[in-house]
Amino acid sequence: MLTIFSVPKPFVGHIATIQRNAIASWKRLKPECEIILLGDEPGISEASTQLGTRHIGELSRNEYGTPLVDSVFREAQAATNHRLFCYVNADIILPPNFTEAVSRVADDWFLMLGRRTDVDIDFPLAFGVAESEARLENAVRENGRLHGPYGIDYFVFPSGLYDDVPPFALGRAAWDNWLVFHARDLGARVVDASHVVRAIHQNHDYGHVRGGSSGVWKGPERERNLLLLGGRGRSFGINHATHVLRTGTVRHAIRVPYVYSRFMSVPVLHPRLWFLWVAAEALRKAAAVCRRVALCTSRWARPSSAS
């Protein structure tokens, strides 16, 4: 059985609506998944009871009251004997084929992740009701936007992969990128499931964060997370994946964005091969200079128009 765990925000207003939508999508997955909601924010305990999930209230927090990622992963994994886990942000709608994708990817040592589609949703969803699901599809079609490869909202992994997570502040910069780096550093197969799994991120404001959206990307919590990351070179994204899932088959990730990202990470994962990166950087800069020279030469050689 797959254990899905998440740390919801307070169940208030719009956030409450989209979190209920997300959790309802997890509840419909087949085979049935165990769902654990963590944290003691207002409304979580009541929502857990209403939605039929497990609830763990106690989490370690920093001085700003932000849950710490090491506590989240430790408490969730200690609460069950299941082998497979999925951390997912509480605003993400998972598609019905999610568990099938996991079964295709899962092996002894892996990480499955994927890009999300950002959508404005401000209404409750009733999965299994044709009219409600059609409304969701219309919203995705009309205003859905595929997010970049550095915003990562779900991680599927086996027990043991994340037994030693630093105390990152959850929901601030860099912690999700470290999870990808750590999996690669341990030699796990990292699989991008974006082509098969359409994860829908329901857009929201950042009223729950001290300082709003700037609190995510600036401030002391962000700076501490960057220190725990251990350097910007460890900020791995989805393009650092080693494999991709396509039409039910796991294949090597050989397209340019993957190959380029993996090559640029060589000195981070394999410090003894730093000279390869230096040589590649030199070639890249030389090629850029040649392109600029060629462009200037072509402009100079171009005949001027008659006066």
User: How many other C-beta atoms can be found within 10 angstroms of the C-beta atom of residue 2?
Assistant: 21
Cα angle 194, 148, 65; round to 5: 100
In a domain, 113, yes or no: yes
Gyration radius from the chain CA atoms: 22
- Return d(Cα 111, Cα 132) in angstroms, integer: 32
Q: Supply 276's token pair.
A: 């390869």
pTM as predicted: 0.88
In a domain, 139, yes or no: yes
Bridge partners (DSSP) listed for residue 145: 118
Domain with 172 in it: what CATH number?
3.90.550.10
In a domain, 306, yes or no: no
In a domain, 194, yes or no: yes
In a domain, 295, yes or no: no
- Return d(Cα 208, Cα 62) in angstroms, integer: 15
- Confidence label for 211 from pLDDT (cuts 50, 70 and 90): low
In a domain, 178, yes or no: yes
Cα separations (Å) of 87 from 40, 81, 92, 135, 138?
18, 16, 11, 27, 27
Nearest Cα neighbor of 36 from 54, 57, 9 is 54
- Return d(Cα 226, Cα 231) in angstroms, integer: 7
Whole-number mean pLDDT of the chain? 92
In a domain, 164, yes or no: yes
Nearest Cα neighbor of 150 from 7, 249, 261 is 261
Q: How many domains does the chain have?
A: 1
Nearest Cα neighbor of 57 from 70, 66, 74, 44 is 44
pLDDT digits (tens, 9 = 90+) for 90-149: 999 999 999 999 999 999 999 999 999 999 999 999 999 999 999 999 999 999 999 999
Domain that holds residue 256: 2-260
Cα(first)–Cα(last) distance of the chain, in Å?
78
pLDDT digits (tens, 9 = 90+) for 141-194: 999 999 999 999 999 999 999 999 999 999 999 999 999 999 999 999 999 999
pLDDT digits (tens, 9 = 90+) for 28-45: 999 999 999 999 999 999
